[in-house]
Amino acid sequence: MSSRKIKIIKDGPYRVTGGIPLYQQNIVTDEAGHTRELIDEKEFPARETYTLCRCGESKDKPYCDGTHVSIGFDGTETASRKPYIERAEIFEGPELKLTDCHELCDHSRFCLRSGGIRKLIQDSSDQEAKKTAIEEAMICPSGRLVLWDKKTGKSFEKEFKQSIVLIRDEQKQCEGPLWVRGKIPIESADGSFYEQRNRVTLCRCGKSENKPYCDGSHWMTADMKLKFRKKWGLDKK
The contact set with ligand FES (CB under 6 A) reads 106, 176-177, 203-205, 207-208, 214-218
Compare residues 50 and 179 and give the one whose CB is closer to ligand FES.
179
Could you tell me which of 3, 20, 2, 18 has the C-alpha nearest to residue 178?
A: 20
Report, in Å, the least distance between residue 202 CB and ligand FES. 8
Report, in Å, the least distance between residue 198 CB and ligand FES. 19
Tell me if residue 12 falls in helix, strand or coil.
coil
Compare residues 106 and 136 and give the one whose CB is closer to ligand FES.
106
Report, in Å, the least distance between residue 161 CB and ligand FES. 23
Element (H, E) at 174: strand 174-181
Report, in Å, the least distance between residue 163 CB and ligand FES. 18
CB 95 within 8 A of CB 79: no
CB 8 within 8 A of CB 186: yes
Compare residues 130 and 204 and give the one whose CB is closer to ligand FES.
204
Compare residues 135 and 215 and give the one whose CB is closer to ligand FES.
215
DSSP alpha helix (H) spans, the chain: 67-71, 84-87, 117-122, 127-139, 222-231
